[in-house]
Amino acid sequence: MTDHPADLQRLINSVILPGFVGTTAPQWLVRALANGLAGVVYFSHNIDPETPGQVAALSAELRAANPTAVIGVDEEGGNVTRLEARDGSSVPGAAVLGALNELDTTEAAGRAIGRLCRDAGINLTIAPVADVNTNPRNPVIGVRAFGADTELVSAHTAAAVTGIQHFKVAACAKHFPGHGDTVADSHMDVARVELSMDQMHHHHLPPFQAAVQAGVAAVMSAHIIIPELGEAPATLNPAASALLREMGFEGVLITDALDMAAVRATVGPGEGAVLALLAGNDLLCVGNPLNAYTTGRDDESCYVEVYDALFTAVTSGRLPQETLRRAAARVQALAQWSAGDLSPASPEQLAAQEKYDDVDWVSVSARACRTDSLGKRPVLSGAGRVTLLDARTGHNMAAGPTENFLATALAHYALDSLHASELSSAELEVSLMQSQGTVLVLTDSLAAPEQQDTLELALSVAPHAICINAGLAPETPSSTATIHAHGFSRVTAQAVVRVLETA
């Protein structure tokens, strides 16, 4: 039994994983880490790409305060990256890998992510996405998933886990028990999965079982409601946690961010933290303090809200200290595993590793591209003129706002960039009529009416325009010249240009 107040403070801190603002550690965070805080999650605002070694130095600073700190990051590759947010990921995302369907390549991508994290002093990447994207209208998963086929997603999830954890970086399969059939984004709304548990067992749970069998160190719970399990989001639902443990998982169960709408707009992050621990979670991801919906609250207050709620629940007897101890033990086991030495490799193993560690990811992404009605001749040659019309609307909350990596990949061409959101239909029509050379229309959802309208307008003015689809590829080939890139990152953008130059 914990009696001393200082011991209780450390015990409560040991299950909290907050975000913070800045590229160096604020004093409140250093104090909390010295007082047993489990660790932190990095976001893109914690990364200074202009300063080589900054992230590794930051990680060292945090571990000086708490040597067993868990330092996590959303590093999926593809659309969702924090360490390479400014310039785009150097590793293709899940949909690219699923479209290519080469398990060795997916394991190599996992290794690339693991190495990127380990070099930065990070020991937890909140990846891979194990969701089966069975609903094409899903607004938050989409190309972050390996695909819509359960068997394919299961195999690639296991391969990604194996690759990531090769470098003693903990992988975290998400979003349990499966976010792939939702039509709401749980960042902004309560998401429901209107499937029976029989359907979940058949279509959505197998990738998580595959991750468990591959030895995944962590799993992230989702803020999704499955009516047959009850009306509480899975993160706050003991039935969901029990389901995962029944699958043989003994690692760390991490909550999705407690500042997301399903928690924030219902019970609130503090009460959500209490309910999540009571439901069987081990580690509380507080969230990104710079999200628009946390306006008016600083990073420390986001952490304090969760800490205070846990303290009140423990001291009142509502939250048993034994529950905290069990959770803290799992978190510490993960930290100790990640701190271990990498297994020595034999000369034969070192030789075999070359196929994993020396991959041309642009070529991989180009091979995964699907072309519809494009023809066989190169579209781009020399240094001709290109008009790039960005038809995208908004951005995926998980990915955050990004640069136009396709514009960057086309930098050696004379480039005219147009943004549909900034022009009226009449202005856009005039601009396209005045365009010279190749016209490219960038979309990330061919099912979005606004993007479809922009594409149709462009084709009416420039019939030879080519659609660059960075979203899900429909099953039926298009009669419109289209390159389906299966995602939007630095390497997929470069791959698209390579396809245009060599088709």
| Alpha-carbon distances of 219 from 60, 116, 262, rounded to whole Å | 25, 20, 19
Known catalytic membership, residue 187: yes
Taking each continuous run of H as one helix and of E as one strand, the counts in the chain are: 19, 16
- Whether residue 401 has a cis bond before it, omega within 30° of 0: no
Torsion of CA 496, 500, 502, 503, to 10 degrees: 100
- Whether the Cβ atoms of residue 410 and residue 386 lie closer than 8 Å to each other: yes
Neighbouring CB atoms inside 10 A of 316's CB total: 8
User: Is the CA virtual torsion 272, 274, 276, 278 positive or negative?
Assistant: negative
Tell me, yes or no, if 256 is annotated catalytic.
Answer: yes
Pairing of strands 218-221, 252-255: parallel
Q: How many alpha carbons fall within 13 Å on the CB side of residue 322?
A: 0
Q: Report the candidate in 128, 124, 63 with the shortest Cα–Cα distance to residue 338.
A: 124
Of 18, 47, 22, residue with least CA distance to 32: 18
Q: What token pair was written down for 460?
A: 């009416």
The CA distance from 64 to 300, in Å, is 20
* Pairwise CA distance, residues 166 & 160, whole Å: 10
Whose structure tokens read 């195999």?
155
Of residues 156, 166, 175, 187, which has the active-site annotation?
A: 187
> Quick check: helix, strand or coil at residue 257?
coil
What tokens does 244 get? 């995962």
Q: Cα–Cα distance between 178 and 384 in angstroms, integer?
A: 46
Q: What sign for the dihedral angle of Cα 265, 266, 268, 272?
A: negative
Distance, first Cα to last Cα, the chain: 69
Give the contacts of 496 (CB within 8 A, at least 6 positions apart). 369, 406, 409, 468, 483, 485
Positions annotated as catalytic residues are 187, 256
